[in-house]
Amino acid sequence: MDDDSPTQSDTYYIKTFGCQMNVHDSERMAGLMAEAGFRAVDDPARASVILVNTCTVRDKADQKALSDLGRLRQHKKGNETVVLAVTGCMAEREQENLHRLMPEIDLIAGPSQVRNLIPMLGDLHHPGEGRRVLLGRNYELPEMTTPPAIRPPGVTALVTVQEGCDKACAYCVVPRTRGAERSRPVAAIVEEIRELVAVGYREVTLLGQNVNGYGKNSGTKESFGDLLRAVNDIDGLLRIRFTTSHPSDMDAGMISAMKECKKVMPHLHLPLQSGSDSLLSRMDRGYSLALYRDWVSRLREAVPHVSLTTDLIVGFCGETEEDFAKTLSAVEEFRFDGAFCFIYSPRPGTPAHGWTDMPSRDLSVARFRRLEEHLDALILEKNRNQVGRVQEVLVERVDPSLERLSGRSPQFRHVRATREGDRPLPETGEVVSVKIRSCTKAGLEGVIV
């Protein structure tokens, strides 16, 4: 093969935006492309197929993907055989618009069509028909099996256990891009993780939009707690994480599995979104602050050192200063170990689209900054509390030139460590004890003990 030719007929380039679901969908597409004989390249100028896996959760995500597409479509100029394919959540929501805006795009297909990627690429070229553009909508939805994903080599792997979302949060576009909730059978998940362990992965993150609603609406007998127990029994696996959990899908079985399964890490990401009941109700989140509080206290009682992280939205429709103050006081009350904060971004097709009583942009930005300041101070304080303690760190990276390693504590804190004296550096995938000596809001630093 001539590596210097500008494009080769069997190469692909992939760019990924969005959440871990999308990252994993790209890993699956990589698996499918490899199986079909394509080789990955880092430079889009050398690819015969350019894949852009998009996100559309907020307007900024759309803008990022569009600007990238604007650049990438240049690679088709003078080289019509190059295929430009757009996948992911924006592709699902904006099929016709994208086609109108950028007619160069050859294939536009949403997340549920990932498994049809190879047949769709094949259908782009029909002898004698000239170029045709495919909107990947008329393909049958195959069984919910996972194609062989190609993950980056490492210690920790993403594993889909559930897809789609049956909730209808007023602000959120995801149910419109990822379809109804479906769960994979426990046996298939366990088998996939066994194979991952056999090739060296030590930690898995179980993925789903409402991962703790696992099994609901899918005819699966097993609950999320049962799934955690089954995965906990896999020999050679060291750690289990999962994301995202929904407050309305919490149950006692999940909490007891977190308490009893040694490999399930003491960390829960449980999006609160707002501290105000009236906003939670307008968001149609399906729980109150009191219910959230109740689950947090049951969890903290069962798993004493558990860390709790969350997602928060400011500037949603109808948010008053008083509502916002309730979000700040919820942050104080729950003392989150981390939070992703977002300014509400209206999304076409969602229930809240068209509601007009949003706070002004300036006000929302000001609230966002206040919230972030609050959280930064809290998280720094929480990290300071770790100084002097010993943390068990799963080593994800070792940098021999800097004589340093990095990884995560059980509570998902980022830890960097050096060694003392000339003791050997550990290998990736090992768990080492690290005495914490200092911290920033981004994580902890220490020495291997």
Q: Which residues bind ligand SAH (CB under 6 A)?
A: 57-58, 171-172, 174, 209-210, 244, 246, 271, 273, 311, 313, 342, 344-345, 347
Residue 89 binds: one of ligand F3S, ligand SAH, ligand SF4, none (C-beta under 5 to 8 A by kind): ligand F3S
165 touches ligand SF4 by CB under 6 A: yes
CA distance 138 to 349: 21
Secondary structure string (H, E, C) spanning the chain: CCCCCCCCCCEEEEEECCCHHHHHHHHHHHHHHHHCCCEECCCHHHCCEEEEEECCCCHHHHHHHHHHHHHHHHHHCCCCCCEEEEEEHHHHHCHHHHHHHCCCCCEECCHHHHHHHHHHHHHCEECCCEECCEECCCCCCCCCCCCCCCCCCCCEEEEECEECCCCCCCCCCHHHHHCCCEECCHHHHHHHHHHHHHCCCCEEEEECCCHHHCCCCCCCCCCHHHHHHHHHCCCCCCEEEEECCCHHHCCHHHHHHHHHCCCECCEEECCCECCCHHHHHHCCCCCCHHHHHHHHHHHHHHCCCCEEEEEEEECCCCCCHHHHHHHHHHHHHHCCCEEEEEECCCCCCCCCCCCCCCCCHHHHHHHHHHHHHHHHHHHHHHHHCCCCCEEEEEEEEEECCCCEEEEECCCCCEEEEECCCCCCCCCCCCEEEEEEEEEECCEEEEEEC
Binding residue (CB under 6 A) for ligand F3S from 50, 57, 158, 352:
57
Residue 84 binds: one of ligand SAH, ligand F3S, ligand SF4, none (C-beta under 5 to 8 A by kind): none
Q: How big is the chain, counted in residues? A: 449
Q: How far is the CB of 313 from ligand SAH (least distance, A)?
A: 5
Q: How far is the CB of 216 from ligand F3S (least distance, A)?
A: 18
- Written as six digits, the tokens of 153 are 């080599």
170 touches ligand SF4 by CB under 6 A: no
> Nearest 5 degrees, angle CA 269-CA 322-CA 379?
35
Binding residue (CB under 6 A) for ligand F3S from 47, 72, 89, 114:
89
161 touches ligand SF4 by CB under 6 A: no
244 touches ligand F3S by CB under 6 A: no
313 touches ligand SF4 by CB under 6 A: no
175 touches ligand SF4 by CB under 6 A: yes
- Please identify, among the stretches 97-105, 172-180, 340-348, 423-431, the one whose residues bind ligand SF4 according to the rule CB under 6 A: 172-180
Binding residue (CB under 6 A) for ligand SF4 from 169, 186, 193, 378:
169
CA distance 35 to 42: 19
- Please identify, among the stretches 54-62, 66-74, 179-187, 238-246, the one whose residues bind ligand F3S according to the rule CB under 6 A: 54-62
The count of other CB atoms within 10 Å of the CB of residue 304 is 9
- Please identify, among the stretches 18-26, 35-43, 229-237, 317-325, the one whose residues bind ligand F3S according to the rule CB under 6 A: 18-26
Residue 175 binds: one of ligand SAH, ligand F3S, ligand SF4, none (C-beta under 5 to 8 A by kind): ligand SF4
309 touches ligand SF4 by CB under 6 A: no
- Written as six digits, the tokens of 227 are 């799934």
- Please identify, among the stretches 137-145, 170-178, 226-234, 295-303, the one whose residues bind ligand F3S according to the rule CB under 6 A: 170-178
246 touches ligand SF4 by CB under 6 A: yes
Q: How far is the CB of 350 from ligand SF4 (least distance, A)?
A: 9
- Please identify, among the stretches 173-181, 330-338, 357-365, 374-382, the one whose residues bind ligand F3S according to the rule CB under 6 A: 173-181
87 touches ligand F3S by CB under 6 A: no
Residues 251-273 as b or e (16 or more Cβ within 10 Å = b): eeebbebbeebebbbbbbbbbbb
Binding residue (CB under 6 A) for ligand F3S from 7, 11, 21, 215:
21
Binding residue (CB under 6 A) for ligand SF4 from 61, 69, 85, 172:
172
CA distance 271 to 183: 21
Cβ closer to ligand SF4: 243 or 386? 243
Q: How far is the CB of 28 from ligand F3S (least distance, A)?
A: 14
174 touches ligand SF4 by CB under 6 A: yes
177 touches ligand F3S by CB under 6 A: yes
Cβ closer to ligand SAH: 147 or 271? 271
207 touches ligand F3S by CB under 6 A: no
56 touches ligand F3S by CB under 6 A: yes
Q: At what angle do helices 252-260 and 224-232 cross, to 10 degrees?
A: 20
Judged by the rule CB under 6 A, the positions of this chain that interact with ligand SF4 are: 165, 167, 169, 172, 174-175, 209-210, 246
Judged by the rule CB under 6 A, the positions of this chain that interact with ligand F3S are: 18-19, 21-22, 55-57, 61, 88-89, 173-174, 177-178
